[in-house]
Structure 1
Amino acid sequence: MTKSEFKQLSLLYVDFVEQYRCPNVLIDLRELNYIISPEEQQWSASTVFPRVYKAGQRRVAYIVNTDLVTQLSVEQAMEEREGAWFDTQYFDNIAQAYQWFDRPRMD
């Protein structure tokens, strides 16, 4: 994946959330073999997160890759906006993520 492709996919995600007004989003990153650069992390924090929050997203569950470096880059990207946008959790299976979505949010 290139930086351009990362941004294109991120903007498709934004379009989806804006169209369907999803309060809970599950993102399966187990096949992601891409390191999110600090520049891309900042771009996501300033461009992607405000738009999906405005569209109603409040929770995001990541199903993470077992590759520690990739996982850390994803977590680092999410920490760029920690406390500002939505609740974030990392899981190693989808069933756990759905259970988390079923629990009430602590606002």
Structure 2
Amino acid sequence: MNLTETWESFLDLLSNEEAINFVYKQSITGIPFLYITTNPTESKGTIEASIKLLAAKVMRGKRLQMEYSFVRNDGNLLVYRVRFLVPQEKMFCCGNLCPDCIRFRN
């Protein structure tokens, strides 16, 4: 499972939505943020429904969960924190020399 490919597919699907003019992802301190510029007539609820629907399409057949939260808006720009998570797997090294440490993955 490759999260980079998942993100690319997700961003491609979002950019093809009629309600969205422009979308890009930016990671700040390792946390991915989604910047979405919408049409002036679109509501925040419509955009969030699109995020959920398209994330479900991208995650189909993979062991992933999507977590998102609204951060802020500025006119037609909406900012969300979006993460694709693998359930029950470590996301970082805790420094305890665990046998299933993420440092030992290829």
TM-score where L is the length of structure 2: 0.30
- Greater length-normalized contact order (CA 8 Å, ≥ 6 residues apart): 1
Instruction: Please identify which structure carries the higher strand content.
Output: 2
TM-score by length of 1: 0.30
Which structure shows the bigger proportion of residues in helix conformation? 1
